[in-house]
Amino acid sequence: MTVLGNVLGRATIILDEGGVDLEKASDNLFAADPQALYERWDEFRNWLSGWQPDFDRVAAVPLIEAELLSPAPFPSQVFGIGLNYRDHAAETGAEMPGRLAVFTKYPTCITGGFEEIVLPDGGTVDHEVELVVVMGRRAHHIADWEAWEHVAGVCVGNDVSERTLQRAAGNQFSLGKSFPGFGPMGPWLVTPDELTQPDDLALSCVVNGEVRQSSRTSEMVYPVSRIIEEISAVVPLLPGDVIFTGTPAGVGWVHGRFLEPGDVVECTIESIGTIRNTAGHA
Ligand code: ZN
């Protein structure tokens, strides 16, 4: 079971028994910094495959949601994919683009799966449940058939979006998707080999108990492997980089509904987990 968490800034192996601190478990072979671990991802995976937990030496600590931060807290690059589910494109009235639509979320927007979504004043803030990919190897000019080998793992994300700002500047989405707290991701990183069907996972977004989005990642126009091929044809993807892979139908703005203080947004992906972020004012 290879699941890696970030507990209060420390890389943590997630087991059924609880979280085991990686730096301690590895006798300082690996440092605590979760982001730095992606630079040594292959080495980490090799070490982990031979590791046996010894709870007398390093205890498994109960996991507390509020302590689970982003598994990739400081990525060099964060990519978002627009209109990657046909039903979402249809609900917005947008025409399908002729090729992959890539934008950026500036990395300072990244937060954990249980942190607050801080609403800007007068904001028209919306939710987008998405499968999030974290890279485990540098990827430049990578073909689709070898793309998954460059992925460290996947987690659940919410591509939080300020719609007025997003749409005010033509197709330049990035500022509208990059307020602090607009990139929740978690609850932890699951390696692709844990997933029997990494390209076919149920995903949903529930706001205050009401299902708003529900689909499967197999509905993506460009699956993960094609996204990596297309981006890496231009930009080298670096270990620890993050890709938000697009959202299905059911976002709020097409129904005139935006997040309000106190709203609880739960995003879930099958075989990975659930993140839960409450909206609030700064
Ligand atoms: Zn999105």
Residue 122 makes CB contacts below 8 A (sequence gap 6+) with none
Tell me the CA–centroid distance for residue 182 and ligand 1, in Å: 11
Tell me the CA–centroid distance for residue 212 and ligand 1, in Å: 15
CB atoms closer than 10 angstroms to residue 280 = 15
Tell me the CA–centroid distance for residue 171 and ligand 1, in Å: 13
The pLDDT tens digits of the residues spanning 58-80 come to 999 999 999 999 999 999 999 99
Confidence of residue 95 (pLDDT cuts 50, 70, 90): confident
Tell me the CA–centroid distance for residue 102 and ligand 1, in Å: 10
Q: Average pLDDT, stretch 117-123?
A: 90
pLDDT for 176 equals: 95
Q: Average pLDDT, stretch 72-92?
A: 94
- The SS3 of residue 55 is coil
Q: Assign domain 69-281 to its CATH superfamily.
A: Fumarylacetoacetase-like, C-terminal domain (3.90.850.10)
Tell me the CA–centroid distance for residue 217 and ligand 1, in Å: 13
As to burial, measured by CB atoms within 10 angstroms (0-12 exposed, 13-18 middle, 19+ buried), residue 92 is: middle
Confidence of residue 281 (pLDDT cuts 50, 70, 90): confident
Is the pLDDT at 221 greater than 60, yes or no?
yes
The Cα 132–Cα 186 span in angstroms is: 9
Is the pLDDT at 18 greater than 60, yes or no?
yes
Tell me the CA–centroid distance for residue 226 and ligand 1, in Å: 17
Instruction: Determine what percent of the chain is predicted with pLDDT higher than 70.
Output: 99
Tell me the CA–centroid distance for residue 58 and ligand 1, in Å: 39
Is the pLDDT at 1 greater than 70, yes or no?
no
Confidence of residue 94 (pLDDT cuts 50, 70, 90): confident
pLDDT for 170 equals: 81
Tell me the CA–centroid distance for residue 187 and ligand 1, in Å: 18
Tell me the CA–centroid distance for residue 249 and ligand 1, in Å: 11
Tell me the CA–centroid distance for residue 31 and ligand 1, in Å: 32
Tell me the CA–centroid distance for residue 99 and ligand 1, in Å: 16
pLDDT for 66 equals: 96
Tell me the CA–centroid distance for residue 132 and ligand 1, in Å: 10
The Cα 11–Cα 4 span in angstroms is: 7
Tell me the CA–centroid distance for residue 159 and ligand 1, in Å: 5
The pLDDT tens digits of the residues spanning 154-168 come to 999 999 999 999 988
Domain range annotation of the chain = 3-67, 69-281
Residue at token pair 């689909």: 215
Tell me the CA–centroid distance for residue 163 and ligand 1, in Å: 11
